[in-house]
Amino acid sequence: MLEKIKETSDYLKKLMPSAPATGIILGTGLGNLVTQLTDTTEISYETIPNFPVSTVEGHSGKLIFGKLGGVDVLAMQGRFHYYEGYTMQQVTFPVRVMYELGIRTLLVSNASGGMNPDFEIGDLMIITDHINLFPEHPLRGKNYKELGTRFPDMSEPYSKELIAKAKAIAAKNNIKVVEGVYVGTTGPTFETPAEYRYFHIIGGDAVGMSTVPEVIVANHAGIRVFGMSIITDLGVPGKIVEVTHEEVQEIGNKAQPLMTKIMTELVAGN
């Protein structure tokens, strides 16, 4: 594992035009932010040693070095999901590589189903915390102390400072944001009505099939995290309708520019 991380980061170090301190993982169909990047160097996942290859529709799968609002960033367009069959180590491998490349702040985005009755479709939710319901933990197995401690603290999985900054940016720009707890599950099924109800009862405001593994590994590595969910459908009693991947992408598309705006200013203000 340590050798693989080194091999991959050595490969990328030769190609990277700058040394970004901020990484961004863009979720399902959420590539809008990429259109705001300048001075880009794109590296397709297929060409990166040890990188898994993304298979889901709507994920183009590339690493992009560039400037966002003038600040150097490293963006991942398309992520690896557990439901695709990857191991947790594969799902989180890019975060390990990011750390090795110097990334110390990570912004993550995703599409999710809202369970909080106050939420509306198209809302942007700042992730304040998460509940890990994946059946396998990304840190299970041998702990490499070079990568982090055996029993990582998770008392502030999402940086309070970045959450406060993001809320201020949203208020200044008149962008509606909600806040909440993200429940991470395997998928690939969307939830049954009883499952949405259950996830809400245990403390979740939104549910999705990603993010939690990467955020756990980022915390293990000492990377501070900021996360946002686009609420693409509602798992709220009385409001549950059929959900399709296409609809999730369509709603995601509409809300994206607002998320891009918040993330751009967040990066600039860092």
- Check residue 208 for interaction with ligand HPA (CB under 6 A): yes
Comparing every residue's Cβ against ligand HPA, the nearest one is 113
> Is the Cβ of residue 109 or residue 260 nearer to ligand HPA in the bound state?
109
- Check residue 115 for interaction with ligand HPA (CB under 6 A): no
- Check residue 191 for interaction with ligand HPA (CB under 6 A): yes
> Is the Cβ of residue 74 or residue 183 nearer to ligand HPA in the bound state?
183
The secondary structure of the chain, three-state, reads CHHHHHHHHHHHHHHCCCCCCEEEEECCCCCHHHHHEEEEEEEEHHHCCCCCCCCCCCCCCEEEEEEECCEEEEEEECCCCHHHCCCHHHHHHHHHHHHHHCCCEEEEEEEEEECCCCCCCCCEEEEEEEEECCCCCCCCCCCCCCCCCCCCCCCCCCCHHHHHHHHHHHHHCCCCEEEEEEEECCCCCCCCHHHHHHHHHCCCCEEECCCHHHHHHHHHHCCEEEEEEEEEEECCCCCCCCCCHHHHHHHHHHHHHHHHHHHHHHHHCC
- Check residue 182 for interaction with ligand HPA (CB under 6 A): no
Question: Which of 74, 95, 107, 209 touches ligand HPA (CB under 6 A)?
Answer: 209
Q: How far is the CB of 8 from ligand HPA (least distance, A)?
A: 28
User: Residues 73-112: x/- map of binding to ligand HPA (CB under 6 A)?
Assistant: --------------------------------------xx
> Is the Cβ of residue 51 or residue 190 nearer to ligand HPA in the bound state?
190
- In the complex, the residues that contact ligand HPA under the rule CB under 6 A are 111-113, 187, 190-191, 207-209, 232-233, 235, 243, 248
